[in-house]
Amino acid sequence: MGKVLAFVLAGGRSDTLGVLTKHRTMAAVPFGGRYRVIDFTLSNCVHSRVTTVQIATQYSPHSLQQHIQQGRPWDLDRRDGGAWILQPYMGRTDSNWYRGTADALFQNLDMIATHRPDMILVLSGDQVYRMDYGEMIRQHRRNKADVTMAVKAMEPSDSERFGMVEVSGNRVVRFDEKPARTTLSFVNLAIYLFEARYLIDRLQEFVPSGRYDLVWDVLIPAVSERRVAPFLFEGYWEDLGTLDAYYQANRSLLPASSAYLMDRQWPIYTPSEERPPAKFGGTATVHNSIVANGCRIFGRVENSVIFPGVLVGEGSLVRDSIVFSGTQIHHGCRISRAILDKQVVIADNATLGVDTPMSASLGRVNANAPDVTTEEGLLVVGKGTHIPAGFECRRPLMMDSDLTEEAVRRLAAAVPVPEAREN
Amino acid sequence: MKTDAYILVGGQGSRLSVLSEHRAKPAVPFAGKYRIIDFTLTNCVYSGLFRIFMLTQYRPRSLMEHVGVGKPWDLDRKWGGVQFLHPYLGHHGSSWYSGTADAIVQNLNVLRDSDADEVLILSGDHVYKMNYDLLLRSHREQGGDATVGVIEVPWDQTRHFGILSTDAAGRIVEFEEKPLEAKSNLASMGVYVFQRHALIEVLEKLKAEHSNLDFGKHVIPSMIAGGRVSTYHYAGYWLDIGTVQSYFAASMDLVRDEPPLNLFDPDWHILTREHNRPPTCIEAGADVRRSFITDGCQIGGRVEGSVLGPGVVVEPGARVKDCVLMDDCLVRRDAVLERVILDKRVRVGASAVVGVAEDNRVNEEQPDVLSHGITIVGQGTRIPAHQRIGTNCLVGMLVAPEEFTQRTLRDGTALRSAHAEHPVR
């Protein structure tokens, strides 16, 4: 096996999760009860023995940098290779933000070249999946392809969010990026393996002339030249591209199907939080849920994913929800179909979400962001927001981060009831 | 001021039965994810002490694996950090450590070579959260040769401790080891600060007189005579986990709604070596309450009043009540466990019943250790399906299913594997 360098694109700005991605990139979004999304990609790398991993960050990188440290949780703090975080930087003659995925690679070509890789594995840090890249690499070599891309047989209803490809034998013969409608039945998983020479030549050819996108400017031309082989992937892969998809992907981990997290042959690594074991009080009732270390549960929890250090007070009910680290739900609260970001505080007897699921637009976090929509009737509360005692609100709803109790009360008066489209 | 900490971690803890047969007492798992030593190491680093020597002797492998180079405590340092002092052979011959102070005597060169002003002597088998910096400050203010950490114990417990009497200035005037009639209820915690030079001096003097030199028995009484030993009063939670019963009681304290030992204090999180585990999964039919559960468990049955280490599986229909289950134990369907301590990786077959009392007979092999209605099972033992095991039973480590020749082990039975290492006690 030749030398493989993984280049993880983790800088992308993603507004699709609304307030959850307000201060962090998609790769740093919490997932699955104790992880961040990027843990899955990094764990895949080390399990596949790809141990030189460069991570390009740009958008709100602090949360991600803090998480990755020097790569220690993945044993990527190595003398030879290891994890590197590549921030945009200023040079004597040039300084640019990454203007696209191909540009992020191009601007770090010198760093890539230091490691003299034979192949470059380009990954995106915003996916949750379990893949042995070793298999992909072996197949790539057998096929003698310049590029191999992972694809999965899937017929998404919203193909405009995906790249759709057609496969014939050991070649990808057609690639439609985000088509409005499609008859193609393979989805591009955005996991690419390039011959290093091929990729470097293409980048040097295209990027200086203003072609910055890896898919449009490198892959699609390569497909039309029949240089791209498919790697058909059938394993665990979750789409996190919308708020609803993110919610469902978390829910799919609940005990009945949690085999992916529990697999001891392929553990997902993440920094430890140094929390004590979870405490279940005498009044606790927990069903079909994931509960991490450091939680204190005195109320009722059903069908939920509870991250480390969460308090569920006596008499509170948390149902069908995802609750991030350190959130405090005091006594007598009712929470359903909610995603509560970190360090949210919910005072006694608050009710978040009355039980009438409906679809609606949740608005946007800022003027440039797209509308966040939900068909699941979700309620999202941003990091560090304080919900006052006795507060009640309907679903769906998205609350900003760091709101004080006073601000939430004021907001409540102003929140229009979302226009319901009955399911 | 520079301070070196010496932690005595060689104790056998024989009254912990099978839990400490293959590991030193400080390495015994406690509170789900911790080892007993974690409390002392955490105290050290939170007190700003980063030069730590660990004096090992009895079965140190488990402990060394756990502590490693000290990374979880930020003790992997260029200067200082954690260093193991094992018994060794030297030119002039050397021997096993035969007493707490003898362990230091045999490493006198380390003590002499140090540039520390003070030496803190700690025991690695206590559970407590103590800021040693306060002790050190008190020691410096009082300006003596030594200061002993003391705690008030109930008067009816004094005969289990080293008891100190002090004068009005807080100077120790008398030390009695486990007195039947105590003059005070101030117990020594086994936490001592010495001026390094004073310690070297007293050890050199005493080492010729006693071959089994002990801090409590010899060093402190000898220094009291010089009149320069003070006390520091500690008032928090402190527990010397000495027996199976106290281990069990301390574990049961953890599941109370307001436990005496708060492990959730964000300013004093206990640090330990973490084994990357997924969060715990609790299945639809499960019932978990009054329990303390570490990451990586899968619970389908009923768990009440219990402490579970990482990776424990309790299948649907199983019932676990008032138990301590260490890492990766497996409790099959419809098994019932009551007042049982399972060491790591014990497998309990379907419909087995363990720990349910009949006549409460005390243990035949360890009557003084197992008489309080607790059954204990050693590491890696596999209990077959439908097996019945009473209370006060002792099942050794690595007992294979076919070694359970009787369908029922009556209360007080001891069962050892013919194949596993069987330490003589």
For a pLDDT cut of 90, what percent of chain B falls above it? 70
pLDDT band for position A402 (cuts 50, 70, 90): very high
Which of B252, B256, B269, B276 to mutate: most A Cβ within 10 Å?
A: B276
Cβ of residue B281 closer than 8 Å to a chain A Cβ: yes
- Among A40-49, B332-341, B412-421, the least confident range: B412-421
The pTM score is: 0.90
- How confident is residue B424, by pLDDT bands cut at 50, 70 and 90? very low
Q: Does A62 touch chain B (CB under 8 A)?
A: no
CB atoms B284 and A288 under 8 Å:
yes
CA count, 13 A, side-chain hemisphere, B78: 0
- The overall average pLDDT reported for chain A is 88
Local structure of A63: helix, strand or coil: helix
A282 touches B257 (CB < 8 A): yes
A1 has pLDDT over 80: no
Strand A360-361 and strand A386-387: pairing?
Answer: unpaired
- Taking the domain B3-244, which CATH number applies? 3.90.550.10
Q: Over chain B, what is the mean pLDDT?
A: 92
> If you average pLDDT over residues B116-142, what whole number do you get?
95
CB contacts, 8 Å: B288 with chain A: 280, 284, 286
Give the pLDDT of residue B169.
Answer: 80
Closest-CA distance of chain B to residue A263, Å: 9
Cα A362 to Cα A378: distance, rounded to the nearest angstrom: 9
The yes-or-no verdict on residue A277 having pLDDT over 80 is yes
User: Quick one: A192 exposed, middle or buried, by C-beta within 10 A (0-12, 13-18, 19+)?
Assistant: buried
- The pLDDT score that the predictor gives to residue A81 is 84
Rounded Cα gap, residues A250 and B370, in angstroms = 46
pLDDT digit string (tens) for B290-301? 999 999 999 999
Distance from CA of B349 to the nearest CA of A (A): 21
Indicate yes or no: CB of B279 within 8 angstroms of CB of A32: yes
Q: Does B263 touch chain A (CB under 8 A)?
A: yes
Lowest mean pLDDT among A291-305, B96-110, B122-136, B360-374: B96-110
A323 touches chain B (CB under 8 A): no
Q: Hey, what domains does chain A have and what are their CATH numbers?
A: 4-248 (3.90.550.10), 273-414 (2.160.10.10)
In tens, the pLDDT along B255-283 reads 998 899 999 998 999 999 988 899 999 99
Give the pLDDT confidence score for residue A423 in this predicted structure. 39
Contacts of A298 in chain B (CB under 8 A): 257
Instruction: Kindly report, as residue ranges, where domains of CATH 3.90.550.10 are found in chain B.
Output: 3-244
State the pLDDT confidence band at A86, using cuts at 50, 70 and 90: confident
Does residue A256 register a pLDDT over 70?
Answer: no
Cβ count within 10 A of residue B130: 27
Per DSSP, B126 falls in state E
Q: What's the full length of chain B, in residues?
A: 425
What's the full length of chain A, in residues? Answer: 423
Inter-chain touch B281–A281, beta carbons under 8 Å: no
Higher pLDDT, B193 or A68: B193
Cα–Cα distance list, A348 to A328, A391, A407 (Å)? 10, 9, 17
Q: Which of residues 324-363 of B touch A (CB under 8 A)?
A: none
Q: What is the mean pLDDT of residues B218-235?
A: 90
| Residues of chain A contacting residue B290, judged by C-beta atoms under 8 Å apart | 280-282, 284
Please list every residue in chain A whose beta carbon sits closer than 8 Å to the beta carbon of residue B307: 277
Q: What is the pLDDT of residues A352-365, one digit of tens each?
A: 876 555 555 666 66
Candidates B255, B264, B279; nearest CB to A33: B279
Q: Rounded to a whole number, what is the distance in Å from the CA of B222 to chain A's nearest CA?
A: 42
**Residue A403, min C-alpha distance to chain B (Å):** 23
Mean pLDDT of A296-303: 96
- In this model, does residue B103 exceed pLDDT 60? yes
User: CB contact, 8 Å: B297 with chain A?
Assistant: no
| Mean of pLDDT values over A86-112 | 82
Confidence of residue A260 (pLDDT cuts 50, 70, 90): confident
- Would you call B371 an interface residue with chain A, using a CB distance cutoff of 8 Å? no
Contacts for A40 with CB less than 8 Å, ≥ 6 apart: A31, A127, A128, A129, A130, A268
Among the listed residues A148, A188, A145, the one whose alpha carbon sits nearest the alpha carbon of residue A166? A188
Contacts of B258 in chain A (CB under 8 A): none
Q: What is the DSSP letter of A264?
A: T
More confident residue, A262 or A55: A55
Of A262, A281, A308, the CB nearest to B289: A281
Determine the pLDDT at residue A420: 44
User: What is the CATH number assigned to the segment(s) B276-415?
Assistant: 2.160.10.10
CA distance B45 to chain A (A): 14
Pick the more confident residue, A182 or B45.
B45
In angstroms, the separation between the Cα of residue A280 and the nearest Cα of chain B is 5
pLDDT cut 90: percent of chain A above it = 62
C-alpha–C-alpha distance, residues B391 and B377, integer Å: 11
End-to-end CA distance of chain A: 52
pLDDT value at position B212? Answer: 87
**Mean pLDDT across B129-145:** 95
Identity of the highest mean pLDDT range in A157-166, A410-419, B222-231, B383-392: B383-392
Inform me whether the C-beta atom of residue A331 falls under 8 Å from chain B C-beta atoms.
no
Does B76 reach chain A within 8 Å, measured CB to CB? no
**The pLDDT of residue B401 is above 70:** yes
User: Looking at residue A122, what is its pLDDT?
Assistant: 97
Lowest mean pLDDT among A113-122, A278-287, A373-382, B92-101: B92-101
Do B269 and A276 lie within an 8 Å CB cutoff?
yes
Range of weakest confidence among A354-368, B119-133, B238-252: A354-368
